[in-house]
Amino acid sequence: MSYLTALENAALSHSGVPRPTPRASRPLAAALDTIPEWKAAFAGRDKVVAAFRALPNTNHEAQIADLTRAHSAQIVDAMVHNQPLPAPIGEQVTELRDRAAVAGIEHEALRNAAASLLDHLAHIYRASPDTVAAHLHTRLGQIIDQARDLGITPADIPTGNDALRLGEEQRAALLRLEELTADLAELRRSQAEALSRTELTSAHYFANTDELQPWGEDAPWPGDPGRPTAAHLAWVATTPGARTWVPTSDQYADAHQRLKKAHQRAEYNHLKAARRHKGAPLSAAQEHRLGQLERAVKNTPPEDMSPSENYRPHPEVAAAKRRIDARNRAENHRPIWR
């Protein structure tokens, strides 16, 4: 369950006592605490819960029933012994019910306040993804820098009995790498938690996935970036071209689109080459896919295309170009967009 889901599910319990707001994982909690509105609202809700629990019991019916039974016994005793009847208990009952009514009003007010604060927390949470991402990205940089200082590559990580032959300094460095790996794993969980997602894409982990993992090739990094191992952290820390990050929403959208276009271009070129090869005709499905890719690739702006590809502008752009060229020729100007 994501933190946001848990936050929204932290409604009032059956007993009427507000449940404590779920606590985030350490990196996410630290990121949220950098938001003043969040910190104030979170502390405020804790105070509401404490005030709620300090309220007196609002159910005085049991006390009234006990009082009524005792009063009945006193009346019977007075009648048996021919004594004056006891004073009426109406005022006592009224007082108990008035106190219960006042406490009930306060009870309901605090319940409503707790629910409103919870909604406010959820609103702040949803409105702050980039603030959280920036904080997590800073923490990620610290983890990578510390891992890089260790100078351990994936090939340096021993397996089996090799670990027994390490010196004290090497063992200490590997132990520190494992600690940093645990920090990285927790940070990646927080990243997914903040996005309310169980699985993230490679563009959530690397700013240049389009360069690191070309279309049709296996990922060069060891393991799963979302569940990093020591070998993965060592690879990220010692590979110059690996630009790991925690992107903001706009950064992720740009990286994801860039990766999508790069893969489209690569697949398009692959299918074009296959069609030119006489011994490998394309199937109907491949021809259909090639047509889809051609439309996508040809409408890609020139700066996003590889130099070897022949860019053709969108038909509306081409028509606008012809109109401008015609006007320029009429004005004896040099045509543009040659």
Q: Give tens-digit pLDDT for 190-229.
A: 999 888 777 888 999 999 998 998 888 889 999 999 999 9
* pLDDT value for 223: 92
Q: Count the Cβ atoms, other than its own, within 10 Å of residue 218.
A: 6
pLDDT, the chain, mean: 79
Query: In terms of Cα–Cα distance, which of 50, 38, 17, 3 is closest to 190?
Result: 3
DSSP codes joined into one string, 232-254: HHHHHHH-TT--B----HHHHHH
Do 102 and 173 lie in one domain? The reply is no
Asked if residue 140 is part of any domain, the answer here is: yes
Do 148 and 201 lie in one domain? The reply is yes
* pLDDT value for 8: 56
Q: Give tens-digit pLDDT for 47-85.
A: 877 887 777 766 677 777 887 888 788 888 878 888 888
* pLDDT value for 196: 77
* pLDDT value for 304: 47
* pLDDT value for 244: 95
Q: Is the pLDDT of residue 299 over 60?
A: yes
DSSP-derived 3-state class of residue 150: helix
Evaluate whether 107 touches 55 at the Cβ level (below 8 Å).
yes
Over range 131-145, report the average pLDDT: 94
Geometric angle at alpha carbon 76, from 75 and 80, rounded to 5°: 120
* pLDDT value for 302: 46
Evaluate whether 60 touches 66 at the Cβ level (below 8 Å).
no
Asked if residue 338 is part of any domain, the answer here is: no
Do 150 and 88 lie in one domain? The reply is no
Do 27 and 44 lie in one domain? The reply is yes
Asked if residue 334 is part of any domain, the answer here is: no
Listed residues 217, 247, 277: the one ending a domain: 247
Do 79 and 145 lie in one domain? The reply is no
Q: How large a percentage of the chain has pLDDT more than 70? A: 78
Do 240 and 259 lie in one domain? The reply is no
Asked if residue 320 is part of any domain, the answer here is: no
Do 107 and 120 lie in one domain? The reply is yes
Number of H helices, E strands in the chain: 13, 0
Asked if residue 287 is part of any domain, the answer here is: yes
- As a whole number of angstroms, the distance between CA 138 and CA 246 comes to 9
Evaluate whether 107 touches 58 at the Cβ level (below 8 Å).
yes
Evaluate whether 225 touches 202 at the Cβ level (below 8 Å).
yes
Q: How large a percentage of the chain has pLDDT more than 90? A: 25
Do 233 and 266 lie in one domain? The reply is no
Listed residues 71, 105, 127: the one ending a domain: 127
Over range 77-100, report the average pLDDT: 81
Asked if residue 322 is part of any domain, the answer here is: no
Do 181 and 259 lie in one domain? The reply is no
Q: Give tens-digit pLDDT for 223-232.
A: 999 999 999 9
Do 86 and 161 lie in one domain? The reply is no
Q: Is the pLDDT of residue 312 over 70?
A: no
Q: 199, exposed or middle or buried, with CB in 10 Å at 0-12, 13-18, 19+?
A: exposed
* pLDDT value for 309: 39
Over range 163-174, report the average pLDDT: 81
DSSP 15: T
Evaluate whether 225 touches 206 at the Cβ level (below 8 Å).
yes
Listed residues 110, 127, 144: the one ending a domain: 127
Do 151 and 231 lie in one domain? The reply is yes
Over range 257-264, report the average pLDDT: 88
Asked if residue 206 is part of any domain, the answer here is: yes
What domain range is 217 assigned to? 129-247
Query: In terms of Cα–Cα distance, which of 11, 13, 30, 29 is closest to 21?
Result: 11
Q: Comparing 42-46, 237-241, 252-256, 312-316, which segment has the lowest mean pLDDT?
A: 312-316
Asked if residue 52 is part of any domain, the answer here is: yes
Q: How many domains does the chain have?
A: 3
Do 112 and 170 lie in one domain? The reply is no
